[in-house]
Amino acid sequence: MTDGEAQLIEAARERLGPRAVVTDPHEIEPWVTDWRGRVHGAAPALLAPGSTEEVAEIVRLAAEHRVPLVPQGGNTGMAAGATPPADGSALLLSMRRMNRVRSLSADSRLAVAEAGVILATLHEAAHEIGMRFPLTLGARGSCTIGGLTSTNAGGTQVLKFGTMRSLVAGVEAVLPDGSVHNGLSGLKKDNRGYSLDQLLIGAEGTLGVITAVALRLVPAVAARAVAWAGVDSPERALDLLRFLETRTSAVEGFELVPEDSLQLVLKHVPDTRPPLGAEYDWHVLIEATTSDSQHDVGAELEELLGAALDQKIIEDAVLAANESQAEALWKLRDTISEAERAEGQTLAHDISVPVAQMPRFILDASAEVERRFPGVIASGFGHLGDGNIHFHVRAAGHAAPDWYEREGEDITRFVDDLVTAAGGSISAEHGIGQLKRAEFARLAPPGRIHALRAIKHALDPLGIMNPGKLVP
């Protein structure tokens, strides 16, 4: 422990009380490794403030003693952005005690939630007033509003509602000098220059500590319809999306699934059944919703899929007859990563390219990876309508047993080069954190890196906010 850390810990204990300062290694231990278990860090203390004022006090102490802080929410991030460095040179700043939903209003369609509020808790609170926060993802039971905002998270409803960037109406945050930015008024229009709120979204804790967020709500879902369709190519899948979008605004989920991913799910995940009577090369899961109880969204989707079948856009389709069938269809999509893990090691790439180019990209990039690295299988699944897929590479039967260790890095660089050449992003949803920082530095245009560094230095000249993350 450095002298600065020891002094900060003592001062924090004195000013904030013992509850806000944890130094027992057993209590800290679960929080110093990233969710995927790939990066192991260390921290001599975990600071757990209970209010915005306490966060400001801690940040002021960190500046005074030159001690870096690593903000952390649910620690479910995919890029190890909330994992402290291994040398113990930073303190963890856990936001989980700040877990109050400060206000919720159906009239203003806004909720103000503190940074440590768990996403599922916000969903429940919104539901109670007949509203919905329209962003969800697999980690909803653990991830926090502060983490979601700091990573500009996406999920399965981005097609209709956008990422966190579209859903955040304002941010309250403690800036690196200990001052508090209050953007919670929820103004629809505010043109007083640079938007600090937008700057803090996706900043991964490098520009300040988010303490509360004003979030946009929409009316609760009155009914949903879930369908599964077989198509012969990703191009046809995108044709189907365009066909549906010109005829209805009800589609909010549209997920692409290749046949080999479906086969892995059927092989490894209990209680799963083929959704259609025959095998197709590609599949699409569609969810349509309505907040109008008079709108028969199931009948509408059925009719549209019938027309798509007549026009030979799709090969076959099935509409879930009830909620349990709808859940069974979603399970086929949601358990792809789990099924891949059961099959063997997988290299995951969360990438985006312009939507119109995605079908071609999936086919070409898979073929190029398989040609360049014989013995692997590459494929993409996920949010086709957002131009964002999980491009996964795994071993075919004839890959060398140590392919992952030997070739993993080269494969990732090869994939990232293909993505960059296609004008895409090597991180669509998950952020840069520490895991993608080297690749970001290698591939980002110099102007972008210059701007990031300049912003970081202007707001955090002492470098106390999550150093070693995001900014190359």
Ligand X SMILES: Cc1cc2nc3c(=O)[nH]c(=O)nc-3n(C[C@H](O)[C@H](O)[C@H](O)COP(=O)(O)OP(=O)(O)OC[C@H]3O[C@@H](n4cnc5c(N)ncnc54)[C@H](O)[C@@H]3O)c2cc1C
Q: Of residues 9, 12, 21, 35, which one binds ligand X by CB under 6 A?
A: 35
DSSP per-residue codes, 338-379: HHHHHHS-EEEEEEE--GGGHHHHHHHHHHHHHHHSTTEEEE
- Closest approach of ligand X to the CB of residue 206, in Å: 8
Both tokens of residue 7? Answer: 């002094």
Question: Is 106 near ligand X (CB under 6 A)?
Answer: no
Of 150 and 352, nearer to ligand X (C-beta) is 150
The answer to whether residues 110 and 187 touch, using CB atoms and an 8 Å cutoff, is no
Q: Of residues 81, 84, 176, 467, which one binds ligand X by CB under 6 A?
A: 81
- Closest approach of ligand X to the CB of residue 399, in Å: 26
Q: Of residues 143, 426, 459, 471, which one binds ligand X by CB under 6 A?
A: 143
Both tokens of residue 467? Answer: 């150093």
- Closest approach of ligand X to the CB of residue 5, in Å: 18
Q: Of residues 9, 16, 95, 464, which one binds ligand X by CB under 6 A?
A: 95
Q: Residue 121 contacts by C-beta under 8 Å, 6 or more apart in sequence?
A: 99, 101
Both tokens of residue 272? Answer: 């799963």
Both tokens of residue 179? Answer: 């001052």
Of 144 and 425, nearer to ligand X (C-beta) is 144
- Closest approach of ligand X to the CB of residue 278, in Å: 30
Closest to 326 (Cα-Cα) out of 252, 220, 255, 228: 228
Question: Is 352 near ligand X (CB under 6 A)?
Answer: no
Q: Of residues 205, 230, 234, 424, which one binds ligand X by CB under 6 A?
A: 205
Q: Of residues 21, 61, 115, 393, which one binds ligand X by CB under 6 A?
A: 115
Question: Is 138 near ligand X (CB under 6 A)?
Answer: yes
Enumerate residues 149-188 that contact ligand X by CB under 6 A: 150-151, 153-155
The answer to whether residues 309 and 284 touch, using CB atoms and an 8 Å cutoff, is no
Both tokens of residue 111? Answer: 């909720």
Question: Is 426 near ligand X (CB under 6 A)?
Answer: no
- How far is 277 from 115, CA to CA, in rounded Å? 46
Both tokens of residue 289? Answer: 């919703």
Question: Is 209 near ligand X (CB under 6 A)?
Answer: yes
Question: How many C-beta neighbours within 10 Å does residue 446 have?
Answer: 7
The answer to whether residues 74 and 143 touch, using CB atoms and an 8 Å cutoff, is yes
- Closest approach of ligand X to the CB of residue 433, in Å: 6
Of 93 and 326, nearer to ligand X (C-beta) is 93
Would the CA dihedral through 161, 140, 291, 113 be positive or negative? negative
- How far is 215 from 201, CA to CA, in rounded Å? 12
Question: Is 137 near ligand X (CB under 6 A)?
Answer: yes
- How far is 264 from 343, CA to CA, in rounded Å? 7
Q: How far is CA 15 from CA 8, 34, 52, 443, 471, in A?
A: 10, 30, 14, 45, 32
- Closest approach of ligand X to the CB of residue 249, in Å: 22
Total chain residues near ligand X (CB under 6 A): 36
**Please, which residues bridge with residue 165 across strands?**
none
Question: Is 82 near ligand X (CB under 6 A)?
Answer: yes
Do the bridges between strand 101-105 and strand 110-114 make them parallel or antiparallel, or are there none, so unpaired? Answer: antiparallel
Stretch that binds ligand X, among 39-47, 70-78, 231-239, 396-404 (CB under 6 A): 70-78
Question: Is 147 near ligand X (CB under 6 A)?
Answer: yes
- Closest approach of ligand X to the CB of residue 469, in Å: 6
Q: Of residues 54, 57, 204, 407, which one binds ligand X by CB under 6 A?
A: 204
Question: What does the binding site for ligand X look like in residue numbers (CB under 6 A)?
Answer: 35, 70-78, 81-82, 95, 115, 137-139, 143-144, 146-148, 150-151, 153-155, 204-205, 209-210, 429-430, 433, 466, 469
